[in-house]
Structure 1
Amino acid sequence: MSISSLPRERLLPLIVAVALFMENIDSNVISTSLPAIALDLGTSPIILKIGVTSYLLALAIFLPASGWIADRFGPKNVFRIAIGVFVVGSLICASATSLPHFVFGRVVQGAAGALMSPVARLLLVRSIDKQSLVDAMAWVSIPALLGPVLGPPLGGFITTYATWHWIFLINVPVGVFGIFMVTRYVPVIEAEKRDPLDLPGLILSGFAVAGLAFGLSVAGFDILPVPLIATLVAGGAISAVLFAVHSRKIEAPALDFSLLRLPTFRASIIGGSLFRIGIGALPFLLPLLMQLGFGLSPFQSGLVTFSAAIGAILMKVAAAYFLRRFGFRKLLTINALIGGFFVAICGLFQPGMSFAFIIAVLVIGGFFRSLQFTSINVLAYAEVEQRQMGRATTLAAVAQQVSLSAGIAVGAFIVETTVKRGGGGAISAEDFPLAFLIVGLATASSFIFFWLLPKDAGEQLSRKTPPQ
């Protein structure tokens, strides 16, 4: 079967998933390669962490504008250009000879990444029938779940057996292929209505998302002073309040919170944000536990945590079946509790424990977390009208970024607090159970928002069938 003969509901998700996989891998692959990059650039790994933070900052600043840009210039054009800009940013990073040179490349990558994820979803929800959206979103969800667990071991492998430059150079052929596929197979989709530019709203929401998402992201690392992080988060919160006041005065704000009046969108955003706290915390907590608690190398710990991705891949073939069998309300409610349980149970991992048990927990947990992630992403658009899709994908992307960053911050704060209470010595395996328990409870608490959904929520998407 040729590529062109594939139906649109299969071809488009594959094209989008390839591009998003490149972006998600690249945003996570750098962590294990910092020492090698720092050595070449004549700086220290600690200072070079600005390369991580500059990417996150650019990502946060440009996210709120993604919906308006896509509606103004067309999602196909924007997605294609975003891939190209990401490749350019990768080439800048690979050719870097100084810290400012490298940071500039990361900023370019972050700006492109801010457009890729929400615009990719917009392409799908405007191109694919809602009844086929479950399978499509399952493909798109996999890169977001694989990136945090596959990135670190891949970065370690490339740096060990090649050079760190290939972390970025590998994006060139992938990006060129992606641009070709988008040009050849993605249809041109125009917005039914182009909203006017809300410049004050974009500025306020940009400050809000940058302060909250960036501030919470770096709170888990020894990168910036605590007072500066607190200032960033507080500034982001104040900007968010000012934006909320501003958004009530105009018809088409940069972030349209009026969409939260829709029960399915509200459950997806609020319940989904709580659930993603666990998803955000796990890629941060598990490698630390494996390395500091079990004494594994970064590459070895990456191989262990990668087992969660196996569950995510297995989910791809099961998501549509579970939703047809149980429907969104029942599935999301029960699965929120199951997902929270498999996050919390990671707190039982101790040195000497069977790795077979650890991997089994991660595989099964990865399956259920991925199932929830996919279902939430689909449910968000059940009641959204086509003319609102650009604003809906933007708000969903912002909520996702902030909640994932919150997961990192919560996990890091609890571990640090536990260490200080224990006398402030070296971090050990005993410092992690409380963190896993709390983020697991936060994840499980999302069940409330799904339980409050109407019984027939998203029925037209799940094509629910009665029990046999």
Structure 2
Amino acid sequence: MPRYFITLIVAVALFMETMDSTIIATSLPAIAADLGEDPIALKLALTSYLLSLAVFIPISGWMADRFGARTVFRAAIVVFTLGSAACGFATSLLDFILFRIVQGMGGAMMVPVGRLVILRSVPKAELISALAWLTVPALMGPVIGPPLGGFITTVFSWRWIFWINIPVGILGVYLATRFIENFREDTVPPLDLKGFFLSGIGLAGLAFGFTIIGQPLFPPWVVAGLLAVGAASCALYVRHAFAIPAPLLDLRLLKIDTFFANIAGGFLFRIGVGATPFLLPLYFQLGFGMTPLQSGLLTFSIAVGAVAMKTTAAPILRRFGYRPVLIWNALITAGFIAVCALFTAATPHALILATLLVGGFFRSLEFTAINTIAYADIGEHEMSKATSFASVSQQLSMSAGVAVGALVLELQRMGRAGHEVLASDFHLAFLIVGAFAASSALIFLRLPKDAGSSLSRKAHALGEPERQRDLVPED
């Protein structure tokens, strides 16, 4: 069976998860009206999902090693699908929040374990092309989700935004059972329960705190308290992780230059990129008076650029190398984010489309480079820990990106009569998040010149041995 078919199975699951996390935003007013709740209260449905992700992502690698990657991936799809179906039948706010938590438990396992399936199925020489496919749904979900959610809610019912996941989930379970091997480790250390609770409290506090910054959902002291508790728990986890031989999230992996570049550089880059799906629709609708449909059609061009990238990422990285691409492409992408500040109501839509399309290409290329270089020097036995660690970092950085964008807008409208958001408020926001993305180049400068060479076909052609796979595939 072609290895890329396995990648496609995982990509579909990833697309279902990333789109679901954004599609609900457009439908919140309709859901609130149907459940008899205030729309602001429905924000808890978004944050409860993020909390579930933050708590359960760290344990995903251990689960895959203990029970097998296929078993956990398949179970994650089932849990996510059942939670999604239950959301469609919710009759109260409490029901809805609980079912979103169940969805988050499935999503927390589905994405990192799906990536682990690819890492253990595809040779490193083909990893660039394989993971490029995963970049596309990750970028398409946030831009397709809002307009699709609005369309389904308007034409059918908000409940169908959850029920459409049922046939996709059933197909995913069948394909995973039929085509994915159940790779697992021979020996698995005991579960780090103390680390699980410390990381869960810490990451949940940070993710939740970042998400509600700049929103009237909770008073500032609650936000500050969540961030403080989250930071303190993470600090306690750091001390714990270096004191035991097999921590849940192994911080010793940061000693590997290429993995450190993924975590630190990727975090800064994703702050900029993670803020744009939040800022652009508001910019177009509140600043320029566009309809949700007009806004969605413009932002969709980002996904088109991402799709165009998937066939060119591997040749570009093999031609120029990881270090130059990561450095210069981070600056190019940051420039495309910052240039959004120059858009006005009079800017031709064709020019906006072209800018977002080309920007989508470069940001997708950067994501592919960041996501693949993480595993360039990771041994087979550390793959599951690395995927969990990388997924945690990705989740936090995207939440931080939205928080930074929202905070800049909130600070600019404070004290203004009417407290309204103006188009000019977005200019500084785009410049600041663009600066975050550009600062990732400083991290990538630390990479050695031959970083990522193990992912190139040329490296294997020159005699670099393929790492032996000490994994046990189960039928």
Which residue is equivalent to 1:93?
87
> Residue 237 of structure 1 is aligned with which of 231, 242, 252?
231
- Which residue identity does 2:8 align to in structure 1? L
Matched, 1:337 2:331: yes
Map 1:49-448 onto structure 2 (within 5 A). Answer: 49-420=43-414, 425-448=419-442
> Residue 7 of structure 1 is aligned with which of 2, 6, 10?
2
Pick which of 175-184 and 425-434 moved more.
425-434
Residues in 1 aligned to 2:447 and 2:430: alpha-carbon distance in whole angstroms: 28
The CA deviation string for residues 299-322 of structure 1, in whole angstroms up to 9 with x for no partner, is 321221111111111111111111
Residues in 2 aligned to 1:421 and 1:350: alpha-carbon distance in whole angstroms: 24
Which residue is equivalent to 1:3?
none
Structure 1 residues 28 and 94: CA distance shift in structure 2, 3 A: same
Q: 1:167: Cα distance to partner? A: 0.2
Matched, 1:33 2:30: no
> Residue 457 of structure 1 is aligned with which of 451, 458, 464?
451
User: What is the identity percentage for the equivalent residue pairs of Structure 1 and Structure 2?
Assistant: 55
Q: 1:452: Cα distance to partner? A: 1.5
Structure 1 residues 191 and 23: CA distance shift in structure 2, 3 A: same
- SS of the aligned residue for 1:230 comes to helix
- Which residue identity does 2:450 align to in structure 1? D
Q: 1:421: Cα distance to partner? A: 6.3
- SS of the aligned residue for 1:46 comes to coil
Q: 1:40: Cα distance to partner? A: 1.3
- SS of the aligned residue for 1:432 comes to helix
Which blocks of at least 5 consecutive residues in structure 2 are unaligned? 460-475
- Which residue identity does 1:221 align to in structure 2? Q
Pick which of 369-378 and 220-229 moved more.
220-229
The CA deviation string for residues 180-207 of structure 1, in whole angstroms up to 9 with x for no partner, is 0000001120124312211001100111
Structure 1 residues 370 and 421: CA distance shift in structure 2, 3 A: farther
Q: Do 2:301 and 2:356's aligned partners in 1 also have CA atoms closer than 8 Å?
A: yes
Residues in 1 aligned to 2:305 and 2:216: alpha-carbon distance in whole angstroms: 32
- SS of the aligned residue for 2:91 comes to coil
Q: Do 1:414 and 1:434's aligned partners in 2 also have CA atoms closer than 8 Å?
A: yes
Q: Do 1:351 and 1:429's aligned partners in 2 also have CA atoms closer than 8 Å?
A: no
Q: 1:464: Cα distance to partner? A: 5.6
Residues in 2 aligned to 1:187 and 1:398: alpha-carbon distance in whole angstroms: 25
Residues in 1 aligned to 2:182 and 2:43: alpha-carbon distance in whole angstroms: 39
Residues in 2 aligned to 1:28 and 1:195: alpha-carbon distance in whole angstroms: 36
Calculate the TM-score normalised by the size of structure 2.
0.95
- Which residue identity does 1:109 align to in structure 2? Q
- Which residue identity does 2:408 align to in structure 1? I
Q: 1:223: Cα distance to partner? A: 2.2
- Which residue identity does 2:388 align to in structure 1? T
- SS of the aligned residue for 1:456 comes to coil
Q: Do 1:220 and 1:408's aligned partners in 2 also have CA atoms closer than 8 Å?
A: no
Q: Let me know the Cα RMSD of the aligned residues.
A: 1.3
The CA deviation string for residues 332-383 of structure 1, in whole angstroms up to 9 with x for no partner, is 1110110111111111111111111111111111110010001111000000
Structure 1 residues 329 and 63: CA distance shift in structure 2, 3 A: same
Residues in 2 aligned to 1:107 and 1:177: alpha-carbon distance in whole angstroms: 23
Which residue is equivalent to 2:473?
none
The CA deviation string for residues 242-270 of structure 1, in whole angstroms up to 9 with x for no partner, is 01111111011111110000010011110
Q: 1:330: Cα distance to partner? A: 0.9
The CA deviation string for residues 278-327 of structure 1, in whole angstroms up to 9 with x for no partner, is 11100111111011001112232122111111111111111111111111
Residues in 2 aligned to 1:378 and 1:357: alpha-carbon distance in whole angstroms: 32
Which blocks of at least 5 consecutive residues in structure 1 are unaligned? 1-5
Which residue is equivalent to 2:464?
none
- SS of the aligned residue for 1:181 comes to helix
Residues in 2 aligned to 1:127 and 1:15: alpha-carbon distance in whole angstroms: 13
Residues in 1 aligned to 2:47 and 2:444: alpha-carbon distance in whole angstroms: 34
Residues in 1 aligned to 2:193 and 2:419: alpha-carbon distance in whole angstroms: 49
Q: Do 2:278 and 2:402's aligned partners in 1 also have CA atoms closer than 8 Å?
A: yes
Q: 1:424: Cα distance to partner? A: 6.0
Residues in 1 aligned to 2:5 and 2:186: alpha-carbon distance in whole angstroms: 24
Residues in 2 aligned to 1:464 and 1:421: alpha-carbon distance in whole angstroms: 59
Q: 1:420: Cα distance to partner? A: 2.3
Q: Do 2:259 and 2:375's aligned partners in 1 also have CA atoms closer than 8 Å?
A: yes
